[in-house]
Structure 1
Amino acid sequence: MARKVLEAQPFSMLLGARLVAFGEGAATLELDIRDDLRQQYGFVHGGVLAYAADNALTFAAGAAAGTGLITSGLTIDYMRPAKGEVLRARARVIRAGRTRVVCRCDVSTVDGAGVETLCAVAQGTIAVIGPADGAGPRGA
């Protein structure tokens, strides 16, 4: 189900994102680093890192709270320039409430030798808006 949700997101498909782990309040999203995802210095654009964190945070929340979720806010801190072959965003639930889920995400790059380097950390609040059909908040 989670992979189908990802495949239904045109922007995720444009970036080539894939969900490689999902369940028990956690999710891992990956995408191959391509030249068209880089900024002028050759590093992965910060917007791509923010996208990966945002989507991983929401999928982690979904692993704990089900469908009908949307990001209500996130912060991201860029630790170092992102360079490598794969971008990996690992998110996990910190606290799942009835209307909000707070998650944390580490965004890393992976080089050709499989070495992972942390490049950003994010925290997000995911709002529970109701069933995936948008019918309204749970319990309303």
Structure 2
Amino acid sequence: MPGLDLDLARKVLDSQPFSRLLGARITAFGNGRAVLEVDVREELHQQNGYLHGGVIAYAADNSITFAAGTTLGPAVLTGGFSVQYIRPATGLTLVARAAVVHSGRRQAVVRCDLFIVNADGDETLCAVAQGTVLSAQQS
């Protein structure tokens, strides 16, 4: 979409108080794709020392919505999404890579692969998600 770029995506993300609380950042945005990252810290863990599933779900939801925004425009809302947790996330950084699978005029279907990155830079798939994003543009 014209006018939508990584700088604008970063401003939108920064305008979300919850995203600021988590320390989320967008590292790629455009052409039906978005990458969101969250550094893992102790307060984001659950009782067994793994990254909390809610943080993973947040990253899936937000990266899915940002990816869809590259095809539908900036006024979008999540219609729904599902997450399949594959393995516990232990590492330094959560990386959510979302890509539009199909986009129409009013909605997009987006897949997201979520990886945990360790100290050596190795990535391990910890979850996959899929969602539907709706255009909030008034007709």
Q: Same fold (TM over 0.5)?
A: yes
Which residue in the other structure is 1:76 paired with?
A: 83
What's the counterpart of residue 12 of structure 2? Answer: 5
Residues in 1 aligned to 2:10 and 2:36: alpha-carbon distance in whole angstroms? 10
How much does 1:6 deviate?
0.3
Gaps of at least 5 residues in structure 1 are 131-135
AA matched with 1:72: G
1:116 equivalent to 2:117? Answer no
Q: Check if 1:28 corresponds to 2:35.
A: yes
- Tell me, in whole angstroms, the C-alpha distance in 2 between the residues paired with 1:63 and 1:116: 26
Residues in 2 aligned to 1:64 and 1:109: alpha-carbon distance in whole angstroms: 27
Give the letter for the 1:55 counterpart: N
TM-score, normalising length: structure 1: 0.93
Matched, 1:46 2:53: yes
Deviation at 1:72, TM superposition (A): 0.6
One of 66, 70, 86 as aligned partner of 1:63: 70
Tell me how far 1:94 sits from its aligned partner.
0.3
Moved beyond 6 Å, runs of 4+: none
CA distance in 1, matches of 2:87, 2:76: 30
Point out where structure 2 has 5 or more consecutive residues left out of the alignment.
1-7
Match of 2:112 in 1: 105
Q: How many residues matched?
A: 132
List per-residue Cα deviations over 1:14-56 (Å, max 9, x = no partner). 0000000001100000010000000000000000000000000
Percent identical among aligned pairs is 55
Asked whether the 8 Å contact 2:72–2:106 carries over to 1, the reply is no
Following superposition, the deviation at residue 63 of structure 1 comes to: 1.4
Q: Which whole-Å CA distance do the structure 2 matches of 1:83 and 1:106 have between them?
A: 16
Please tell me the root mean square deviation across aligned C-alpha atoms, in Å: 0.6
TM-score (ref. length: structure 2): 0.94
Aligned equivalents of 1:129 and 1:98: distance in 2? 11
